[in-house]
Structures are given as C-alpha cells and as structure tokens.
Amino acid sequence: MSASAEALLQTEEVEVAYGRIEAVSGVSLSVTAGEIVAVLGANGAGKSSLLKSIYGLVAPRGGMVKFDGRPLPPRSTHTRVAAGLALVPEGRQILVSLSVEENLQLGTYSRRNMSGAEDDLEAIYARFPNLKQRRNMSASTLSGGEQQMLAIGRALMARPSLLMLDEPSLGLSPKLVGELFELLRQLNAEGLSILLVEQNVHKALQIAYRAYVLELGRCVAQGTPAQLTAEGKIQEAYLG
Amino acid sequence: MLEQQLINGLMLGGIYVLVAVAFTLTIGILNFLNFSIPGVFMLAGVFTWVLLKAGVHWSLAVAGALAVGAAASLLVERCTYSWMRSSDHYVPLVSSMGFLILFENLVLVQWGSDLQRVVLPFSDLNIRYASLVVSIPQLLSLTLAVCLVVALRALLLKTQMGRALRAVAENATTAEILGVGVTRLVPAVFIIGGLFAALGGMLFALNYQQVHPYMGEEVALKGISAMVIGGMGNVWGAVLGGLLIGLTEVLSIHFFNADFVDFFVYGLLLVILFFKPTGLLGASKIVQEKF
C-alpha cells in the first residue's frame, strides 16, 4: 500500500533539520486519492516538521515530496496551494485584523479561475451558519470552535484535492472534537483526501483509513487502524 | 494674511502626507522603517530638475522622475529587504540608511551640492481668487495626496491584493500558508511606497522650484513626525499628521518667524505623544487594526 503509482501525495526519505537538531530522519509516506491518512506520535516525534516540509514552510534537508506525480519545489507554499494542497495550521492562525468573510476570501488567493468563488463562499456558509452570522465582524470575535471552522473553511476556499490538518483538535472541548471529526469524515465522503496530524490517537484512528506512527523522527509503524491496534504499536510509540 | 497662510500650510502638508504614507506603508505592512525614502524623494526632485533642464517635455519629465523613484525603491528592496528579511530588524534599517547616503552622494558627485533652481516651462501657474493665490502644483500636490490615499485605502480594504497585504502585516507565515506569494508581494509594497515618496519629491521641486542633494532629509523628518502624530501604520493618520505639520509650520512663520518652525513642529509632536502615545488615530485597542 505504500508507494503506489497513483498516490496523490508521496514523500520519499524526507529529512528535516533545524541547525544540528534533526527533527525528521527519512520518512516516506503516501496518501492515495480518497483516503484519510493519520500521522501519529508523541510530542517531538517530528509530525509537524514533516507536515511543514510537505507544505514548503521549511526546506527539507533531504528527500523528495511529490504531489500528483510531480516533485514539489522545496520552499514555496503558493505553488502548492495552486496545485491543490491546503493546510489548516496548528493553532488555527486566524487573521484577526480581517473580517470573517475576508479570511475566507483570502483562501481563494492562489486560484487562477475565480468563477465559482461566490458559490463556494455560500457553500461554506451553508456548512457553517455561525460564520455567516458573523461574516462582517472581526475574526477575533469567534469562539475557539468557530475559529477552527473558519480555518477549515478558509482552506476549503482554495478548492484543494488534499487537505492537511495540524493538530486540529487541540484546545477544543470533547463535544467540539466529536463534531470536528464528523466534519472531516463528511468532507472525505464528498471526495476530499485528508492528511491528519493528531495527538488524539483514539479519534484519529476512528476515521483514518491508514496511519503512520512516528517516533523521534522515524516511522516506526504503519498500517490500518486495526493492524496497528492489534500489534500494540500505538502503545509502544507513546509509552516507549 | 492668514487665509493665504492656511492655504500654503495645507499645500505644504500635502507633500508631508505623501512622504508620511510612504513611511507608514513599509512600517505597517513589513514592520520596517525604510530610511531610503528621503533618498527616493530627493532623486525624484533632482531628476525633475535634470529632465526639465534638458528640455524634455514636462509630462515626460514628471513620468521620468516617478520612474526613477520607483526603480530606486525597488533597488533598495532587492538589495536589502529581500536578503535581510530573516535577520534582526536593525539590519535592513541600517542598510536602507546606507542607500540614503549612497543616493545623496551619487547626486553630489554628479551635480554638486549647490541649490539648483528649477525653471518651470510655464509662465504663470497661479490661480487667483480675490486676493488669494493658489499655485497649480501646490493644489495638485494636495489633491493628489488626498486622492491617492483614498485609492490606497480602497486597494487595502476592497481588493484581494489589499487583503493579502493586510494578512502579511498581521502574520506573514499565515499569509504564506494561504498561498500568498509574500516574496512577490513585498516588491509591490516598495514600488507603491517609492511612488508616493517620488511624487512628493517631484511636487516639492515644482512647488518650491529648488532642489539639492539633501532636500529629502528635512522633509523626511517631518514625514516621520507626521506618521507618528497620526498613528503608526494608519494611512489616515499619515494624512492628518501631514496636514497638521504643514499648517503648524506655516502658521509659526506667520505669527513668529522662520526660526520658530522646528520649535513648534516638534513641540506639537511631543505634546501629542504626551497625551496620546499611540498618535491621534493610532490603535489604543489590543487588537491593532491597521489602515
């Protein structure tokens, strides 16, 4: 299941280092179109660094990232967004000096073809009615859950084929976490591929088709949720 | 007479507004005090003189001066900001100051340090109404300053590029995540800022009909003061501050004499900062809403 020819996203031996500190030491993973793939691991396992190098926010020291069969340039995010990748960053990163609607509109920045942008905006509002109510207010007035909806809606405005999320459940109440994962499942049912970095292993394994477990920058296990649970790999990675 | 002085003050203020907006753009969006702006102002003024003296038609001279200003500003971006974005704040600041000195000395070497008279290709550029006199370049500088600020604000608030610029102002990494090509947007900020400064320098040359290599410095100090009085990073603040300083300058000459100009201008700055440290229109909220 790993490096199939029709993989939407594929990393090959990606290495990320900050100075002399190595965060990711050769991780290969793939996401096939239509999948939800989870990347799991304890704090400092290198999950976020891997995601950032896939997205071009940090330049990998080695290895390659391919999207839709084409290698991606090392340090350029706007080409990725234009190619169909979108990231919901850790901590949501809502722009509070912009209104809710402006945050969403900015999501279309790299779209060459703006036709349908209005319809997409209405579709987001239909999905998240709270955002529509506050469309002209500063994004700082939103609650934590609404901010996460805005961050996801903003990423969807780019019409991605692969949505990547970095710790989306962080700081949300259990009820909101449930709603969030239900939303991801629904988006996936509508055809969106998802790469999910999560600390909430239990929830992530409920929706993921496959998962990779990272430990100290290396991939120590991969497989379907059933395989990983049966082999006890998850407990090993977290409890050592 | 006082009415005439008020008119003169507003017209002079128009030039300060242009310079203050140039400063406030790079501060507001890139958090960078661009010290090359007085150099760009001076280059545009000097090139207006050079081109007019060479017998070029005034419209081409104006276009040429603006082009030189925009190109100089882009050069500063290419050589300082684009390389030193990731370093400490003072590095681009100091290197932009280096460009100011470079521009001044290039002009000094080429044309000397003398005050040069700009000879206008028009005989009479004054509009007279009753006993009031308004010169057309002066009227133009005020009108252009206000119109350009309105246009700039519309650009920032209503367009996708404006949203992207405001996103960069708040958090460049987030803007990048949303697909904004930050490295492609920054040169645009420098060109827009450079055009504002160049327009100021060109209009200064036409209004006061004199240019010299250091003409930018004094105006720039007033421009920075205008920005601070109005509120850093706020475009309307730059307008208010620029007009206030222009009026203060002219009125202090009217009521006292030219020796008192700096006393009142910088006195005003101190008094305003004492009572409102963030400037007249500066954000006093925690969430800073720029522009």
Q: What are the per-10-residue average pLDDT scores of chain A (240 residues)?
A: 68 91 92 95 90 93 92 89 94 92 93 83 94 92 92 95 95 93 96 94 93 92 90 69
- Tokens representing A50? 């891997």
DSSP state of B285: S
Amino acid B273: pLDDT: 87
Task: Count residue pairs from A and B with Cβ separation < 8 A.
Answer: 68
Contact A195, A163 (CB under 8 A): yes
Amino acid A235: pLDDT: 72
Nearest Cα to Cα of residue A93 among A83, A106, A80: A106
Distance CA A196, CA A211 (A): 9
3-state DSSP assignment of residue B287: coil
Amino acid B236: pLDDT: 87
Instruction: List the domain range (segments joined by +) for residue B167.
Output: 2-290
- Tokens representing A82? 């234009």
One-letter-per-residue 3-state SS of chain A: CCCCCCEEEEEEEEEEEECCEEEEEEEEEEEECCCEEEEECCCCCCHHHHHHHHHCCCCCCEEEEEECCEECCCCCHHHHHHHCEEEECCCCCCCCCCEHHHHHHHCCCCCCCCCCHHHHHHHHHHHCHHHHHCCCCEHHHCCHHHHHHHHHHHHHCCCCCEEEEECCCCCCCHHHHHHHHHHHHHHHHCCCEEEEECCCHHHHHHHCCEEEEEECCEEEEEECHHHHHHHCHHHHHHHC
In this prediction, residue B86 has a pLDDT band, given cuts at 50, 70 and 90, of low
Nearest Cα to Cα of residue B208 among B1, B23, B2, B14: B14
Distance CA B219, CA B50 (A): 20
Q: How far is A231 from chain B (nearest CA, A)?
A: 37
Q: Per-residue pLDDT tens for B204-233?
A: 998 888 999 999 998 989 999 999 998 887
Span B163-168, mean pLDDT? Answer: 93
Q: Which residues are CB-neighbours of B144 under 8 A, at least 6 positions away? A: B14, B18, B199, B203
Nearest to B180 among A93, A102, A109 (CB): A109
Contact A12, A54 (CB under 8 A): no
Radius of gyration of chain B (CA): 19
B178 and A106 within 8 Å at the Cβ level: the answer is yes
Q: How far is B33 from chain A (nearest CA, A)?
A: 21
A78 close to B (CB below 8 A):
yes
Amino acid B22: pLDDT: 93
Distance CA A41, CA A167 (A): 11
A57 and B181 within 8 Å at the Cβ level: the answer is no
Amino acid B89: pLDDT: 67
A138 and B289 within 8 Å at the Cβ level: the answer is yes
Residues of A in contact with B171 (CB under 8 A): 93, 95
A59 close to B (CB below 8 A):
no
Whether the predicted pLDDT of B129 surpasses 90? no
DSSP state of B33: -
Distance CA B49, CA B215 (A): 13
Sequence spans of domains, chain A = 7-93+159-239
Q: What is the dihedral of CA A218, A223, A226, A231, to 10 degrees?
A: -50
A98 and B167 within 8 Å at the Cβ level: the answer is yes
**Residue linked to tokens 């704090």:** A43
Amino acid B21: pLDDT: 92
Amino acid B278: pLDDT: 84
Contact A2, A13 (CB under 8 A): no
Amino acid A75: pLDDT: 82
Distance CA B213, CA B217 (A): 9
A78 and B176 within 8 Å at the Cβ level: the answer is yes
Chain B residue with CA closest to A51: the answer is B177
B178 and A97 within 8 Å at the Cβ level: the answer is no
Distance CA A6, CA A68 (A): 8
Residues of A in contact with B179 (CB under 8 A): 77-78, 80-82, 109-110, 158
In this prediction, residue B242 has a pLDDT band, given cuts at 50, 70 and 90, of very high
Chain B residue with CA closest to A99: the answer is B163
A108 close to B (CB below 8 A):
yes
Distance CA B163, CA B166 (A): 5
Distance CA A106, CA B161 (A): 9
Q: Per-residue pLDDT tens for B7-26?
A: 889 888 999 999 999 999 98
Amino acid B291: pLDDT: 56
List beta partners, residue A25: A15
Amino acid B284: pLDDT: 53
Distance CA A156, CA A183 (A): 12
Cα separation of the two ends of chain B: 36
Amino acid A237: pLDDT: 66
Contact A155, A194 (CB under 8 A): no
Q: How far is B37 from chain A (nearest CA, A)?
A: 27
Q: Which residues are CB-neighbours of B226 under 8 A, at least 6 positions away? A: B16, B17, B19, B20, B238, B241, B242, B244, B245
Chain B residue with CA closest to A76: the answer is B181
Amino acid A5: pLDDT: 53
Q: How far is B94 from chain A (nearest CA, A)?
A: 27
Interface test with B, best of A77, A105, A141 (most B CBs within 10 A): A77
Amino acid A100: pLDDT: 95
Note the Cα B69 to chain centre separation in Å. 11
- Tokens representing A201? 């292993």
B164 and A106 within 8 Å at the Cβ level: the answer is yes
Contact A98, B166 (CB under 8 A): yes
Distance CA A170, CA A43 (A): 13
Region of A73 on the Ramachandran plot (φ > 0 left; ψ -120 to 50 alpha; else beta)? beta
Amino acid A15: pLDDT: 93
Of the options 3.10.129.10, 3.40.190.10, 3.40.50.300, 3.30.450.40, the CATH number for the domain spanning A7-93+159-239: 3.40.50.300
CATH number at residue B217: 1.10.3470
What is the count of structural domains for chain B? 1
Contact B291, B156 (CB under 8 A): yes
B170 and A96 within 8 Å at the Cβ level: the answer is yes
Distance CA A238, CA A163 (A): 26
Percent above pLDDT 70 for chain B: 93
